Structure 1
Amino acid sequence: MPFPDHFRQLALSFPETTEQPHFEKPSFRVGKKIFATLNMKEQRATLKLSERDQDLFTLYDRTIIYPVPNNWGQQGWTHVDLTRVPEEMLKDALTAAYCEVAPARLATIVKPPAPEEEF
């Protein structure tokens, strides 16, 4: 189960990631930018995704991965139910969140290469 120690381990596996408090929750940052927070009480992570990635991940099941229900959700902040999300999906979403806020020099280290298009 990806909660909470496993989630913490995954988040901290990205280059130059630090864990710092954010209000009463742990946050995971690269530089000073938050890409994920962990809500232990609600067994939920909140990730900073691009609009495109948010649309993609929420297609899976909006009861498991869904936009934060306010203006923060419109900015890409997305809740993930850690008790129900598949492991690979969590890894992919966390990678997308990290790459959304990380400097390009770090994002290219963890981002899988885009498939080549054939013309």
Structure 2
Amino acid sequence: MADDDQLSRVFAALADPTRRDIVARLAAGDATVGDLAAPYDVSVQAVSKHIRVLTDVGLVSQTRDAQRRPCHLEADVLDLMTAWIERYRRQAQARYERLDDVLAEMGEDGHDPRRSRGAAS
């Protein structure tokens, strides 16, 4: 249940496009809040609030390096999200494969095999 709670909080945090962009930028490497704020037309304080949300859900951590506080993306949280998404992707894939099988059977002789077994129209 704890993973489900964290997953809900992470997805909620990533609902914001600025936070998704920050995560994408941190995937390329660590950066300071100032670095992360540079491309946006908002204050460093506003970006700090976004970082705080991402930190609270475990997606980002900050370390101290003299006067700098670089932000780091925590990949293990992304792994949790990926596992959740993958489970449903596999289920959808299995349904598509079953549909492909039914369509292939229908294509071989031109009719729905279920109808020949007395299924209702």
Q: TM-score range by the shorter chain?
A: under 0.3
- Counting strand residues as a fraction of each chain, which structure ranks higher? 1
Bigger helix fraction? 2
TM-score (norm 2): 0.25
